[in-house]
Every structure is written in C-alpha cells, then in structure tokens.
Structure 1
Amino acid sequence: MDTSMTENPYRLAANTATAAPDTANESSEDFFVTRDVSNDGLHFEPHRHDTDELMWAREGRLDVRFGGRNLSLHHGHMAWIPAQVTHEATLLGDGELMCLFADTRLRPTGDRWDQPHVVAASPLMGTLVHHLRDLDRPRAERRKTRELLTEIIATSDVREDTLALPRDRRAATVADALLADPADQRTLVELAEFVQISPRTLARIFINETGASLGKWRNRARLNHSLTLLKQGHTVEDVAAGVGYRTTSSFIETFRNNFGLTPAAYRRRFLV
C-alpha cells in the first residue's frame, strides 16, 4: 500500500503561522479532538489518515474536497472522512475548526460510513465534540461521551444542502466573489464579463459542475451565509440586507421555505 500521503492525524501541511493550534491533542485513547483557531485562513494540502475523521467548522466557512467533489460547508455541517480517503480542506478567514479522529473500529455500522459525506451538525453533536477536547475529564466519561456521539452520528441525516464549488477556474473565480460578498448584485452577463467568457458558457459550467443554475447556487450561498450572521446575533433585517435580499419579507419567506423555520426562530437558538 502506498503510504506516502498517510500522516500523523494532526496538523497536516497547515498554515501554522496564522493558526492557534490545540497543543494538548494527543491521548492514549483511540480517539481525540483537535481545535484550530485562525484569523487568516488555514489550509491542509491533500492527505489521508489511518483514522476516521469528523471535521466541523464551529465558526467560519470550510471548503472540503474529496472524491472529485468540492463543497463549501458551514457550522450546520460535519464532514465525515473515512480512513485512507484523500481529502483537502481550507478554513477561510476568521474561523474555528474542530476535528475528531477515531480508530476505524469505533465508526458506526453500515456501508454508509465507508464513503465520505456530510452529515447534519446538531447543537448536541457540537457540544459533545467540544466536550471531548477536555483531556482532564475521567476516561470513562470521555468514552461514554464518544459512544453517545457515535450513536447520534449513526442516525444523523445526510446533508444535501451543501454548496458544491465549480472546478473550472473561471467559474471558481465567480463563486469565490459571490461567497466573499453574498450581497453582490451583478447579473449573469456582468459576472461572465468579469471572467471574460460568454454568459452561456458560465451558465453551462455552473449547471454541469455544481448541479445548479447560477441563480439557484447564488441563493444557496446567500442562505448559508445568513446562518452564520444570524448565529452571530445580527438582526434579521441586517442579515437580509447583508446577504443581498431587496426586502426582509422575501428573505424570511425564502429562509422558511428552505429551513422550515423563520430567521428569527433560528437566531433565538444562539442567544444567551
């Protein structure tokens, strides 16, 4: 077996100069959690582990690449990466990344866990991951916490609302611009001019490589960013304007149709 890309499951080709790592990450157990905080982005080159990995951006946006897929994730997503699956990850800008590494014997049962995919990150799952970072807690307590997390993960929904990122360089430039400024109101024609291709070509690339039209892709990008802003405590009105909706009412309706609750109800989940 080629082991040239198999590394110790912590800090693989990271931008250590701009990240604040969790130094107390090793333990004698068959699982552990790492935490990285960055204010200038954090990148992990393509690599693989001997362990399974659960990646969660507690804060910020996480771009993950595996199996020919490029995905943009937010705090409502956790990426399941089985052992020996080559992947690449980037935490963009200000953010906090938490990763659970575990022996393959501890993974949930079923063929589903042989393949990388994205699961729904419930508040309880996030709390348990954070709890497992504390190595001062009794070993038996940590084991029970890990077992509970495994049970919850096993029944978690596969998230299909992830934002696929185009591989084409020109379309990727457009995607990056819209993710950096979700309120960007440029039309398809204007965005095509920005990367010097025809509107028809840009539209075709987005459909072929992301499975969505540019309009639908942009709407999902806006909704995903709105989750982060609401979690940070911004008002519904400010969030609506900040992600590019012309009226608050249209934002509320779109948000409810996609997530099954109002922006205000979602925001209340994170208010102390």
Structure 2
Amino acid sequence: MARTSHAAAEGNPGMWRREAGTVVRRALALPERAAASGAITACSHIPRVPTEWAPHSHPSHELVWVRGGTVTSRVQDRVFTVSEGYGLWMPAGVVHGGRTTAGAKFHDAFFAPDRTPFAFGEPRTIAMTPLLESLLAHLARTDLDDAARARAESVVFDVLQPSEQQFTLRLPPGDGRIDAITEALLADPADPRSLEEWARALGISDRTITRAFRQATGLSFAQWRQLLRVHRALALLSEGFDVMTVSEELGYAQPSSFIAAFRRVMGTTPGNVRNPVSPVHNS
C-alpha cells in the first residue's frame, strides 16, 4: 500500500488526526429494536470510508468493537484506541466522539441501564472473548423469543469483563507551556523534534516541559510521544500498511526501533497485530 500523506490529512485541533475522505456523522443512531423487551440490542455494519462521529451521548450503555480495523474514541482529555480482540464500554450519558477506519466491520451493542446488573462508571476497554462475541452476534438476530434472549443476556452479563490493561492516551488539558507540542504531535506523530529542540523553540527549559507532561499525563515527553505513536500505529496496521511503512510514517529511523517501542507498550509485535492468528488479549 502507498505511504499515507500528512499533507492529505485534515487537522482536527485537540483531537487525533483526521484522514482525507473521512465522513463526519452527528451521532451513532440506536437500532430500531432498542426499545424491545430485551436488555441488549446488538447490530453491525461496515463503513466504506473512514467515519467519525461528532461528540454525543446515549441514554443506554454502549459497547463497540471492530474486526479488520480500529475504533478510536475521545472522552474529555482521554483517547481510547481499540483494535481486534478488544471493545470499548461507554457508560450511558457520557459525551464522546468516535472514529473508525474504512472497511472495518463495526459492531455495536446497547445495554438498557435499568436492566443491566452492573455498571462501569468510566469508559473501559473490554476483553472481547470469542464467547462474548458469539453471544452478542446471537443477540443481533431478530427471530429470538424473549426466553432465548433472556438466557443469552444472562451469560453476557456473566462473561463481560474489563481488559487487564486499559490502553488510553491522556491529553494534556490546555497547558500553555506544552500546548504547541501536543498539537504538533497530534497532527504529525512523526515530528522528530527532541525535548531540547522544543525547549529552545518555546523559550522554556526542558525541565519545565518534562514537569508539565508529568503533571498532566503522568508520563515523560518521550513516553507520551511513544504512546501516541503506538495509538497511530494500531490504526495504520489495521488498514493493511506493512511494518516498514508504518515505521517510516511514524518517524522511526529503523523498523527495529519501531518494533521494540511497540512491543514495550503492547506486549506483542506490530506484525502480530497486522496479521493476527487469533484475538490478542494482552495489550
């Protein structure tokens, strides 16, 4: 596949980079069956182009997951990137925006709050086990009677669990000392400027930048940039770009450096993410 173009990407201030050709929708509509007798309403579709949903909320809890792509969601100062093998739980009423890559099979399930016997108060990454996916696919059928639906829902409630690791990027919330850095890196994660170069450009000390990043995100500048690049890498790999191309796109001098950085964050290699043998559950 051809290398992606930074010039072709449309900037989206305060968000992650928006690819050319992205369709922006106001909100993800609840299925017509959402008012049915069951507690869970599931559906799926395949966006043909990169699709973004403007900030919105739902009266129901929402679980989204994808096959053959990634879904990214922005909730206040956090960005969640979810690849194959994982889902994202969004509590009812939480305002969020979302984006999915072109051609990904996008799955969605809505949970009626008054009939869901648990509650995650915050967005959570969910381990999408084969059993959980099969149950939700079963619940997407339109021919289930109430008893069969209730049996399947009770098992979903038993097996739906958060992932051990929550893959989240925290964005510095409007810190004038480092806003220019975060905006530049969100627009272009491959920006090669070092901590010292940024300090000279902004007329502040590198210690000030380091302190600001740690106060806002809990990470150093280098750690935050590495995590941002891995978020971006997941989307590129899911779109079929090879490891060498992704490495170049993200500004690494050698693919081996990219592979090592990716493994440190994800616990697996980018090649395993690009060509998974089975869902990965150890990010």
TM-score under structure 1 length normalisation: 0.69
Q: Percent identity?
A: 24
How many Å apart are 1:121 and its aligned residue?
4.0
Measure the CA separation in 2 of the matches of 1:125 and 1:200: 49
Match of 1:42 among 38, 46, 53: 53
Change (3 A) 1:152 1:93: closer
Q: State the AA in 2 paired with 1:64.
A: V
Runs of 4+ in structure 1 deviating by more than 6 angstroms, as ranges, are 193-197
Equivalent residues of 1:55, 1:79 under 8 A apart: yes
Measure the CA separation in 2 of the matches of 1:88 and 1:197: 35
Q: Provide the aligned C-alpha RMSD in A.
A: 3.7
Q: Which has the higher contact order (CA 8 A, sep 6+)?
A: 2
Match of 2:142 in 1: 136
Equivalent residues of 1:18, 1:42 under 8 A apart: yes
How many Å apart are 1:98 and its aligned residue?
5.1
Is 1:268 the counterpart of 2:275? The answer is yes
- The structure with the greater share of residues assigned to helix is 1
Q: State the AA in 2 paired with 1:213.
A: S
How many Å apart are 1:167 and its aligned residue?
0.8
Deviates more, 1:136-145 or 1:238-247: 136-145
TM-score under structure 2 length normalisation: 0.67
Change (3 A) 1:256 1:200: closer
Match of 1:183 among 181, 190, 213: 190
User: Which residues in structure 2 correspond to 1:42-121 (within 5 Å)?
Assistant: 42-45=53-56, 47=57, 49=59, 51-56=60-65, 59-65=70-76, 70-76=77-83, 78-83=87-92, 86-92=93-99, 99-107=108-116, 109=118, 113-121=119-127
How many Å apart are 1:71 and its aligned residue?
1.4
Match of 1:5 in 2: none
Aligned residues: 243
Measure the CA separation in 2 of the matches of 1:262 and 1:198: 35
The alignment partner of 1:115 has SS state of coil
CA shift digits 1:90-119 (9 cap, x unpaired): 22485676543212354455xxx3521422
Q: State the AA in 2 paired with 1:249.
A: S
How many Å apart are 1:195 and its aligned residue?
6.9
Match of 1:18 in 2: 24
How many Å apart are 1:188 and its aligned residue?
2.8
Equivalent residues of 2:70, 2:234 under 8 A apart: no
Measure the CA separation in 2 of the matches of 1:166 and 1:101: 31
Unaligned runs of 5+ in 2: 1-22, 279-283
Equivalent residues of 1:230, 1:236 under 8 A apart: yes
